[in-house]
C-alpha cells in the first residue's frame, strides 16, 4: 500500500488556549475542501428524531455515562469525563468539520408508550474530505461520513438500528444535494457494524492502515453507481 502522510493538528490553539481542531481533522486541505460547510443534518421520520448535542445541557454528563458502558468503551475508547466531552462538543460546533448529534426514539414503537421519547444513540456526521480517511480515496468536498454509538440496550440486537440505518442514506442525500457518497470507517475488527453496513447497501472498499495504531474497514454508499469512489 502506498504510504500517505497526513497533516493533522491536535494542538492548534485559539487565544484562550483551547484546541480549535480535532484529532482526525486534516489541515492540509485544498481551498475547495476547506470551504465546504459543516454537514447538514438529515431529518428522520418517526419514531426517530435527531438533534445537535448541546454542550450547555446535560448531554456531556449523559455522554460520559454512555461511553463508560462496556460495549462502547471497547469500540470507541472515549472514556472521557463530562468536562472533556463538553469542550469537544464546543470545538465541533465552532468548526465546519463535524457535528455531534443525539438520536432519540419513541418507545411506543416497542409497545412501551410509558417510556416516551428517549435518547438512544450518539452520532457524528463529518466531512470525509476533511478527515484522515480523505487521504485514502478519491474524495469529494461534499462527502459525508458518520459514526454511531448505540447506548440504549433495549434497541440492540432487535433489528431496530439496522432499520434506522436503512433510512439514513436517503435522509442524508435529501438534506445535502452536494453529497455524492456517504462513508463509513469502522475498526477492521468490528464485524457487527461491517455486517450492518453491508445489509443496508454500503460497499466495502478496502482495509486501510490510516496510522500505525488504526486499521479501518472503509465503506461507501454512492448516490449513483458512478459515484462509487476508488481507493
Q: What is the pLDDT of residues 66-96, one digit of tens each?
A: 999 998 988 888 999 999 999 999 999 999 9
Name residue, grid cell 472503509: 218
Cis peptide before 47 (omega within 30 of 0): yes
pTM for this entry: 0.88
Catalytic site includes residue 185: yes
Residue 174: which CATH number?
Answer: 3.40.630.30
pLDDT in tens, 89-145: 999 999 999 999 999 999 998 899 999 999 999 999 999 999 999 999 999 999 999
160 assigned to some structural domain:
yes
- Give the number of domains in the chain: 1
Beta bridge partner(s), residue 148: 123
6 assigned to some structural domain:
no
pLDDT at 20 (0 to 100): 57
7 assigned to some structural domain:
no
**Distances from the Cα of 225 to the Cα of 38, 121, 177, angstroms:** 25, 30, 16
- What's the full length of the chain, in residues? 231
67 assigned to some structural domain:
yes
Least confidently predicted of 60-69, 74-83, 172-181 = 74-83
By residue range, what is the domain housing residue 55? 31-227
pLDDT at 76 (0 to 100): 86
Cβ neighbourhood burial of 75 (10 Å; 0-12, 13-18, 19+): middle
26 assigned to some structural domain:
no
2 assigned to some structural domain:
no
Is residue 111 left, alpha or beta, with left meaning phi > 0 and alpha meaning psi from -120 to 50?
left
Q: Is 156 helix (H, G, I), strand (E, B) or coil?
A: coil
Q: Is 36 helix (H, G, I), strand (E, B) or coil?
A: coil
Q: Is 7 helix (H, G, I), strand (E, B) or coil?
A: coil
Whether the Cβ atoms of residue 152 and residue 109 lie closer than 8 Å to each other: no
DSSP structure class, residue 106: E
Average pLDDT of every residue of the chain: 90
Given the residues 185, 187, 209, 213, select the one marked as catalytic.
185
133 assigned to some structural domain:
yes
DSSP structure class, residue 40: P
Amino acid at each position: 500500500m502506498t504510504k500517505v502522510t497526513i497533516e493533522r493538528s491536535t494542538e492548534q490553539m485559539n487565544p484562550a488556549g483551547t484546541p480549535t481542531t480535532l484529532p482526525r481533522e486534516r489541515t492540509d486541505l485544498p481551498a475547495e475542501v476547506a470551504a465546504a460547510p459543516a454537514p447538514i443534518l438529515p431529518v428522520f421520520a418517526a419514531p426517530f428524531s435527531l438533534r445537535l448535542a448541546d454542550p450547555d445541557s446535560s448531554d456531556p454528563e449523559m455522554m460520559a455515562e454512555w461511553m463508560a458502558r462496556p460495549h462502547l468503551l471497547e469500540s470507541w475508547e472515549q472514556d472521557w469525563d463530562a468536562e472533556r466531552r463538553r469542550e469537544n462538543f464546543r470545538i465541533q460546533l465552532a468548526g465546519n468539520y463535524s457535528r455531534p448529534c443525539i438520536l432519540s426514539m419513541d418507545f411506543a414503537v416497542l409497545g412501551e408508550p410509558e417510556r416516551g421519547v428517549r435518547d438512544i444513540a450518539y452520532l457524528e456526521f463529518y466531512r470525509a474530505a476533511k478527515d484522515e480517511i480523505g487521504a485514502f480515496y478519491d474524495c469529494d468536498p461534499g462527502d459525508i461520513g458518520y459514526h454511531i454509538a448505540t447506548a440504549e440496550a433495549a434497541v440492540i440486537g432487535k433489528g431496530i438500528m439496522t432499520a434506522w440505518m436503512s433510512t439514513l442514506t436517503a435522509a442524508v442525500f435529501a438534506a445535502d444535494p452536494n453529497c455524492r457518497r456517504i462513508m463509513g470507517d469502522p475498526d477492521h475488527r468490528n464485524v457487527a457494524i461491517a455486517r450492518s453496513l453491508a445489509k443496508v447497501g454500503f460497499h466495502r472498499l478496502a482495509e486501510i492502515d490510516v496510522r500505525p495504531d488504526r486499521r479501518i474497514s472503509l465503506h461507501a454508499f454512492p448516490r449513483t453507481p458512478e459515484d462509487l469512489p476508488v481507493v
